[in-house]
Amino acid sequence: MNLDAFRELLTPRGQEALAAAAGTAGDDPVAAVTRLRRTYDADLTSAALTQAALRARAAEKFGADAGLMYFTRTGLEQATRREVADHRARRVPAGSRVADVCCGIGGDLLALARAGCTVEAVDADPLTAAVARANADALGLGDRVTVRAADASALDPAGFDVLFADPARRTARGRTFDPMGYSPPWPAVLEMVSRARAACLKVAPGIPYDLVPARAEAEWVSWRGDVKEAVIWCGALAGTVPRRATLLPSGVTMTPDPALGAPSTGPAGRYIYEPDGAAIRAHLVAEIAASVGGRLLDPQIAYITADDAVATPWASRYEVHETLPFSLKRLRAALRERGTGNVTIKKRGSAVDVDRLRKDLRLSGGESATVILTRIGERPFAFVCTPG
C-alpha cells in the first residue's frame, strides 16, 4: 500500500470500500477481490482488503480498537500491544508535553494521549506518519496529537517535558539486535537523552547491560510470560533502583533486594522453578530463589530447585518425578514407563537439539510430561516433571 492509496482509504468512498472488505472475512481471496472489483478500482480494492486483513490480525494486540485503526504490515509487527503501552504511559505525568521521535503507526502516542499527555510525533516514513495521524483521529485523540513525516532530529528534546523514543530495529536485511544498527542508532538516541529533562526509551529485551545509561532505570516487561521489551527510564522518570521486572497484565513488579547475595546451589529437590524471563534479564533470580526457599541447580543457570511448593507469579513450577544423567536411551525408557506420548521439552545450558530429540524419543502413550534439560557443572541432566 502506498501513500496515495492510503489517503484514498480515508475518503468516503475509501471507507465504503473498507466496510465492503470487512464483509469478505473468511471468503476465498480470489472471490473477495472479484467482489470488490465490481465497484472499486484495483488499487483501492487492494488497499481495502489489505487493511481489513491487518485489522483482523491486530485485534490480538489492540482489542476492539483494531477495528477502527489503520496499519502497515511492518508497523503492526513492530507495534507495542495496548496493555504494555498503557503500562508505560501511566508513569508519565498527565499534562506532560511529549516528543515521540520514532512514532511508527502510533501505538505509544495513543497510550500517552489517553494518559492525558500532549504528543508531538515524527516518523521518517511518510506513509507510517500518515497512518499514525489517522489512528489518533479514528480513536478521538487527534486534539492531543500532532504527527508529521520527519527525521528524529526534527524535534528538540529540550523543548518538551519528556522524550519518548522507540528506535526502529529493522533494516533492509531484516530485524537487527545490535543497538548500533537501530534507526536512529544508539549513540544518536543517547545524545537526544542528554538534552531531555526526562526520557523513556523502548528497546529490545536483550540490550547489553553496558549500554544502559548511568543513573537510568531499566525495566523488563513480560506479558503473560513472554518478555516483550525493555524500557529505559532516564532523568526525572528514573526511579531509585537500577533495574526492575514487571509482569503484565497483573502489574506485579520486583526490584533488587540489596540484602541478598548470590543464591546458594544444591541438589535437586522435589520441585524446579523456571523464572520469568523478565526477572532473569533484570538479574532478579536470587530474589525469586529466596521467595520460594530455593537454590540453584548450577550457579550459572537460572533453574531454581526447592523442596516445597510455593506459589509465586515469578516462576513456573514443575514437580520432579525422575532425575537422570542425560542419555537418549534412559530418557526414552523413563518416559515410556510413564506412558508418556506428549512431551514438552525445556532447556537451559544444554546443547541438545530439541527437535531431533523429540523425534528420537518415538513416544506413543496417552500421558503428558515436561522434560527439563540442563547441566550441573559439566554433566548434562534430564528431569522428568509435570507442571504444578
For residue 234, give the amino acid letter.
C
**pLDDT at position 175, please?**
75
Which class for 99: exposed (0-12), middle (13-18), buried (19 or more C-beta within 10 A)? buried
Write out the three cell numbers for 131.
Answer: 497512518
- Secondary structure of residue 78 in the 3-state scheme: helix
Percent of the chain with pLDDT over 90: 93
Helix (H) or strand (E) holding 53: helix 42-62
Would you say residue 311 has pLDDT above 90? yes
Overall average pLDDT of the 69-73 stretch: 96
Would you say residue 116 has pLDDT above 90? yes
**pLDDT at position 171, please?**
65
**pLDDT at position 129, please?**
97
Mean pLDDT, the chain, rounded, equals 95
Would you say residue 26 has pLDDT above 90? no
For 129-149, how does the pLDDT look when each residue is reduced to its tens digit (9 = 90+)? 999 999 999 999 999 999 999
Cis peptide before 242 (omega within 30 of 0): no
Least confident of 116-120, 158-162, 164-168, 301-305: 164-168
pTM over 0.75: yes
Contact status, residue 264 vs residue 299, Cβ threshold 8 Å: no
Contact status, residue 155 vs residue 99, Cβ threshold 8 Å: yes
Contact status, residue 84 vs residue 98, Cβ threshold 8 Å: no
Write down the residue that cell numbers 535437586 correspond to: 268
For residue 89, give the amino acid letter.
A
**pLDDT at position 178, please?**
85
Least confident of 1-5, 226-230, 351-355: 1-5
For 324-382, how does the pLDDT look when each residue is reduced to its tens digit (9 = 90+)? 999 999 999 999 999 999 999 999 999 999 999 999 999 999 999 999 999 999 999 99
For 146-181, how does the pLDDT look when each residue is reduced to its tens digit (9 = 90+)? 999 999 999 999 999 999 999 988 766 667 778 888
- Secondary structure of residue 9 in the 3-state scheme: helix
Overall average pLDDT of the 202-215 stretch: 94
Beta-strand pair 301-306/295-298: antiparallel
**pLDDT at position 172, please?**
62
For 268-283, how does the pLDDT look when each residue is reduced to its tens digit (9 = 90+)? 999 999 999 999 999 9
- Secondary structure of residue 84 in the 3-state scheme: helix
For 229-262, how does the pLDDT look when each residue is reduced to its tens digit (9 = 90+)? 999 999 999 999 999 999 999 999 999 999 999 9
Q: Which residues contact 144 (CB under 8 A, 6 or more apart)?
A: 113, 117, 118, 119, 136
Overall average pLDDT of the 306-316 stretch: 97
Contact status, residue 328 vs residue 357, Cβ threshold 8 Å: yes
Quote the CA–CA distance of 53 and 50 in Å, as a whole number: 5
Quote the CA–CA distance of 285 and 289 in Å, as a whole number: 6
Would you say residue 100 has pLDDT above 70? yes
Percent of the chain with pLDDT over 70: 99
